[in-house]
Amino acid sequence: MTALIGEAAADVGADAGPPASRTGPPRSPGRRARRARYTLTVLAFLLPSAVPLLLFVLGPMVAAAWISLTEWNLLAPAEWVGLENYANLLTDPETADVFLHTLYYIVGYLPLVYVGGLAIALALNTALRGRTVLRGVYFLPVITSWIVVALVWRWLLNPSNGVVNSVLAWFGIDGPGWWTDPAWAMPSIILASAWKDLGFVMVILLAGLQAIDPELLDAARVDGAGWWRRLFSVTLPLLSPATFFVIVISLINGFQVFDQVYAMTGGGPGGATQVVVQQIYDLTFRYGRAGEASALSWLLFVVILAVTVLQIRGQRKWVNYG
């Protein structure tokens, strides 16, 4: 389809003729042909992206709302049930569970990547030899797929002969069962996820650090502020826009956590890591309850939207755009 539109664009381009005004659409009366041509030009530039976004994002978005009001197993015709799916979800204790598991993930993951990423960014922002190489290595996991990350960490954290427990055994420590143990499964996922995203957070914070005027830090130093004092009173306030961005993005991604859960635990053991999106997937493709799954996905979207809006509202209190 885009190919067709691309050809149409080329055709219009071929007879574009005399240059139209560059400051805006031609406005003079009696130049209808020119205006029509301008409209065609705009459409030719816009449609290649507008058509797919309409068909594969906005359309399905609306369809999801409709599906969420039906009972549907993906095969038989959908049956209208009104708000029943939402009512069921809101009263089902399982819903609270999957949101709590997701929250557990976020609460474990976010401080880990933020503090870790900040520490690395601060170190890389000093006169360090081999900075570029070090930055490249810390960033490396970011380009790896979640599935590979999950598989590699499943192996590293293998309870019987994974390298982590082998090393722990040298020190006489009997390592836990990691992803096979309900108590340790979520920490395992958090650890793997933090490893992957540390470099992403580091690069964003490093860019923020590099934008800080060194004179401000020098002034604080002259005033006798120690390293910690300068960190908390100068660096962190000036870094707050980057911090804000990291938190917003991490929360959005955190609520949508799925790939690594699917490949590491599949929601187990015993449902200990059943997060919201895993539940959406299972409801749809394992239990054939697509209506409920759509309702849950809308619920998730609303939660994400609310959390994001709250953060944008609240940013005035602590984010300093200098």
Residue 314 touches another protein, criterion: CB under 8 A: no
Among 8, 103, 123, 168, binds another protein (CB under 8 A): 123
Shortest distance in whole angstroms from residue 10 CB to another protein:
8
Among 8, 16, 168, 307, binds another protein (CB under 8 A): 16
Q: How many residues bind another protein, per CB under 8 A? A: 121
Shortest distance in whole angstroms from residue 154 CB to another protein:
7
- Complex with another protein: residue 104 or 258, whichever CB lies closer: 258
Calpha distance 174→155 (Å, rounded): 17
Calpha distance 157→177 (Å, rounded): 8
DSSP H/E element including 294: helix 290-318
Among 211, 219, 306, 310, binds another protein (CB under 8 A): 211
Residue 122 touches another protein, criterion: CB under 8 A: yes
Of the candidates 204, 182, 174, the one whose C-alpha atom is nearest the C-alpha of residue 267 is 182
Which sign, positive or negative, has the C-alpha torsion 67, 73, 76, 79? Answer: negative
Residue 273 is classified by DSSP as T
Shortest distance in whole angstroms from residue 13 CB to another protein:
3
Shortest distance in whole angstroms from residue 62 CB to another protein:
8
Residue 221 touches another protein, criterion: CB under 8 A: yes
If 0-12 CB within 10 Å is exposed, 13-18 middle and 19+ buried, where does residue 72 land? buried
End-to-end CA distance of the chain: 47
Task: Tell me the per-residue interface mask from 177 to 196 with another protein, x by CB under 8 A, - otherwise.
Answer: ------------------x-
Stretch that binds another protein, among 89-97, 101-109, 110-118, 310-318 (CB under 8 A): 110-118
- Complex with another protein: residue 107 or 144, whichever CB lies closer: 144
Among 110, 156, 185, 272, binds another protein (CB under 8 A): 156
- Report 26-85 residues binding another protein (CB under 8 A): 38-39, 41-42, 44-46, 48-53, 55-61, 63-64, 67, 74
Among 85, 105, 106, 135, binds another protein (CB under 8 A): 135
Shortest distance in whole angstroms from residue 69 CB to another protein:
13
Residue 198 touches another protein, criterion: CB under 8 A: yes
To 5 degrees, how large is the angle CA 73–CA 77–CA 79? 80
- Complex with another protein: residue 186 or 265, whichever CB lies closer: 265
Residue 6 touches another protein, criterion: CB under 8 A: yes
Residue 99 touches another protein, criterion: CB under 8 A: no
Residue 132: alpha-carbon gap to chain centroid = 26
In sequence order, which residues have a C-beta less than 8 Å from that of residue 206 and are 6 or more positions away? 121, 124, 125, 135
Residue 204 touches another protein, criterion: CB under 8 A: yes
Among 29, 82, 127, 316, binds another protein (CB under 8 A): 127
Calpha distance 195→191 (Å, rounded): 6
- Complex with another protein: residue 43 or 182, whichever CB lies closer: 43
- Report 242-301 residues binding another protein (CB under 8 A): 242, 245-246, 252, 256, 258-259, 262-263, 277, 280-281, 284-285, 290, 293-294, 297-298, 300-301
The torsion of the CA quartet 168, 172, 178, 180, rounded to 10 degrees, works out to 130
| Both structure tokens of 110 | 């976010």
Taking only Cα atoms into account, the Rg of the chain, rounded to an integer number of angstroms, comes to 26
**Tokens 């650090």 belong to residue:** 209
CB 288 within 8 A of CB 75: yes
Calpha distance 224→119 (Å, rounded): 23
Calpha distance 240→223 (Å, rounded): 23
